[in-house]
Amino acid sequence: MKLLLVEDVLDLAELTRSALVREGFAVDVATNAADAMAILGVAPPDVIILDLGLPDLDGAELLRSLRRRGSAIPILVVTARGGLNDKVEGLDGGADDYLVKPVAPAELAARCRALLRRPQEVIAVQLQVGNVTFDPRLRKLKVGDNELTLARREAAVLESLVRQSGRVVLRSAIENSVYALEDSPGPNALEATISRLRKALQSFGANAEIHTIRGIGYLLRDGLQP
Amino acid sequence: MSSSLVAIVRRRMIAVVVLVTTLNILFVAAYYGSDIDALHLEGVDGQLAKLAESLGKTPEGDIVFSPSASTLRIYTAYPQSYGFRLSHRDGRVLHEMNPSLLPPPKSEPFKHDGTWLSDRGADLKLLSGSRLVRLDGQEIEITFSGSSDPAHLTLFVFLDELLRHVVVPLLPFAAILTIVNIVTVRRALAPLMNAANAAHEIATSSKIGPLPTAGLTSEVRDLVDATNTALARLAESLEAERAFAAEAAHALRTPLAILTARLAQLPPGEISRSIIADVKGVTRLTSQLLSVAQADTLIVPRDKRCDLAEVARDVVSRMAAFAIDQGRSLALVADRPVEICGDFDALAHAARNLVENALRFAPQGTEVVVTVTPDGCLEVADQGPGIADELKPRVTERFWRSSEAGKGGTGLGLAIAARVAAAHGGELRFADRKGGGTRAQLWLSPIRLTSAA
């Protein structure tokens, strides 16, 4: 997996590059927009990490011009601006993700992986959160040696939670993806499904847990995090 | 004190017109009043003319007198005061009323052929006159007398003169003058009002632009030019402040980013963990300082809309995992959209600060509830120790921190939230939660049209 890191502060570029290399990426570094364009022409990367403050061209301008030319390479914007409104500016310009400096290298690597995973997500065979493995095609839930084939609905609910683990999944989004129009869910149908999934995870000794965020939805979180 | 300039000028213009009209009336009145005889004569002449109009002829050629009731009114109402006689050339009387007032018919009449005369008599109150009327070759003499004028014939003549010489020629002129004045004043002051409107727009726009100077008269232009100079300086210093905050944040964040990247290379251990935590604290403080600067210069355009429920949903979604890490839970109570005039990102930032604050003070295992109500309130309720009444005004002061606040707070979060609320024309209030705890409320103005849905 190849990354292009566009960062004008040399120290930071080098530190970030070596950290990402340790995480297993191949990393090209450009310290200005002109270099970045040159590298893009020769060796297109899988993900671009773009600092918005560049000496020769505003990073946001570079972002827009890339998108105008139809480039579909995922772009992760890293900026030192980040205030009340700058986030919108970055994402509106066509960035796929957005981080405010300083960013821990581990976080940066995780975001890059997430961006790379996106197109392949649909065909991913095994999804993993903590010690929980889930195969959506076979509807198979696995924790350690314990294995269970889930019913269609439970599998669909778990899949949407696992795919967005660590983030809140709106209740309405789960209902839309799980229940077709004809079998309109009763008010407690989703709660019942979630409760069955919780019991299964608990009895298998899973370290991931489904949290209810009252009024919004659910959050599957791997319990190893701080 | 601050009544409209247009109203003042209009009032004065109308006063002038009224004054001129009154003077004119007084002048005409004095003029006619000084020649009272002429008025008396005209009164007599008027009666003679009325009587003459009542004469007619039958098909056989006889002369008849057929007066209307109004013509005869003064003679029936005041038989002591008015009388008339119509007589043929030969002295035959055609018609008469109250003849006792009249001079006796003369054997040699028609001295005053076609004219009239007034004899004021010994007591100076008897008015009389006669006129000769020719009707198809026949001649009729009309004689009229009146004493002491109880029907105010002279007065009516006077009023009639006023009407003809003052009211008819002057009033339309006065009316036109008034209208032209009002329109002119309005037109002349329109550029001033436009300038005022433009200045009002600036108060709620994100840019401090100059007021338009097109079509201004020199006096108004002076004022607008001076205002524009002041505005330009204001915009300049505001822009400088914004730029400085952005530059400062950038300048601080880059070394912090290098520091963070270097720290990641350290082998894990107690010391590296606590240094990483310290750097996170400094990072957080940097962000909050930038947010303070941005909140201070935040201007929310009047047409900017967002859904307060969506703001709350966004914040709760983003903060839920953090809350779980802290051993607390987050909940949202927002059933329907609440459209408000506001900036989504700034409000989300403010709400996030309230949630962070609540999570810091809420005991382990409790729930922090974010509620959005249709009256434009986003509330964050915790079950913490609450805020003593005397401290409530202080918690939004910059860098003020409660003695109970643990690590991690910057003392800026609530100040930012209060400032964002103020930029929206709203307010950050603190109420006590029943059963203990604080309810931090962002009050904003809802847009009414969606509330019926």
The torsion angles phi and psi of B247, rounded to 5 degrees, stand at -65, -45
| A225 at B interface, C-beta within 8 A | yes
At residue B113, the pLDDT reads 47
Residue A83: its chain B contacts at CB < 8 A? 245-246, 249, 287, 290-291, 294
Q: Look up the ipTM and state it.
A: 0.75
Residue A87: its chain B contacts at CB < 8 A? 345
Residue B318: its chain A contacts at CB < 8 A? 168
- Domain B305-448 architecture: 2-Layer Sandwich (3.30)
Q: What's the half-sphere exposure (Cβ side, CA atoms, 13 Å) at A143?
A: 19
pLDDT digits (tens, 9 = 90+) for B136-160: 777 888 888 887 778 888 888 888 8
Q: Is pLDDT at B107 greater than 70 in this prediction?
A: no
How far apart are alpha carbons B157 and B153 in whole angstroms? Answer: 6
Question: Which chain B residue lies closest to A211 (C-alpha atoms)?
Answer: B324
Q: At B116, is the secondary structure helix, strand, or coil? A: coil
What mean pLDDT value characterizes chain A?
A: 82
Q: Is pLDDT at B250 greater than 50 in this prediction?
A: yes
At residue B90, the pLDDT reads 76
B36-151 sits in which CATH class? alpha beta
* SS3 per-residue string spanning chain A: CEEEEECCCHHHHHHHHHHHHHCCCEEEEECCHHHHHHHHHHCCCCEEEEECCCCCCCHHHHHHHHHHCCCCCCEEEEECCCCCCHHHHHHHCCCCEEEECCCCHHHHHHHHHHHHHHHHHHHCCCEEECCEEEECCCCEEEECCEEEECCHHHHHHHHHHHHCCCCEEEHHHHHHHHCCCCCCCCCCHHHHHHHHHHHHHHHCCCCEEEEEECCCEEEEEECCCC
- Name the DSSP letter for residue B294: H
pLDDT digits (tens, 9 = 90+) for A158-200: 988 988 888 889 888 888 777 765 566 676 888 888 999 999 9
| A94 at B interface, C-beta within 8 A | no
Pick out chain A residues at pLDDT < 50: 120-122, 225-226
Flag if A219 and B321 touch (Cβ within 8 Å): yes
Q: Which of B264, B287, B295 sits opposite A82 (nearest CB)?
A: B287
CA A138 to chain centroid, in Å, comes to 24
Q: Count CB-CB contacts under 10 A for residue B211.
A: 19
Quote the minimal CA–CA distance from B369 to chain A in Å.
Answer: 9
Interface test with A, best of B289, B316, B347 (most A CBs within 10 A): B316
Q: Is pLDDT at B426 greater than 60 in this prediction?
A: yes
Q: Which residue has the higher pLDDT, B441 or B272?
A: B441
Residues 6 or more apart whose Cβ sits within 8 Å of residue A211: A218, A219, A220, A221, B320, B324, B329
Residue A211: its chain B contacts at CB < 8 A? 320, 324, 329
